[in-house]
Amino acid sequence: MATIRLAQFFDLVVFNDSGQRVGRHRYQNYFVKERKEFLGRRFDFAPFRVEGSSASLTGENTLLQVLFPAEDIVLQLLEQGNGNRLSLLKLTYRWLNANEQFTRNEYSENYVGVGASFSETTVELRFRASMDSVGAEFPRRTFSKNLVGILPSNADIVLQ
């Protein structure tokens, strides 16, 4: 039976209520009590779990939840970052082989913070995907003289 080994790298930029960047937090959740280098940056260990990312047929923005234990460092992140509103998260997934060495397989997603909640034991950071599909109500552009210049009056249009 094969074991899937997956490390997640959490790179969060937080902003205060005035929109000024006030901090950056980098964590990984695979190598316990270790600091790992990834893309020339250091990621400390934090016990977090990622869940809830989903897509729909109509293309709504996906929702992601990152769950941390309720510890001082995460509560400080919330205070510093305006309750996780408009923070920027890059979440990268890295696969590892049986010897716990990174493979070439990697996947990254970008998210925007939309809020947070916490209980006695857990802090939940909520994010939406930074890219959303274009809906049917998006304004369409039509060929016009202003956009493309003079158009021929017959079917002699060649697209290259």
Tell me the C-alpha distance between 20 and 43, whole Å.
23
- Separation of alpha carbons 75 and 35, rounded Å: 21
Alpha helices in the chain (DSSP H): 72-80, 145-148
Mean pLDDT of 52-77: 76
**How many C-beta atoms lie closer than 10 Å to residue 11's C-beta?**
20
- DSSP letter for 115, please: E
Place of tokens 């937090």: 25
Full set of structural domains in the chain with CATH: 5-148 (2.30.110)
What are the tens digits of pLDDT across the range 101-150?
Answer: 888 888 888 899 988 988 889 999 999 887 655 555 555 556 566 766 66
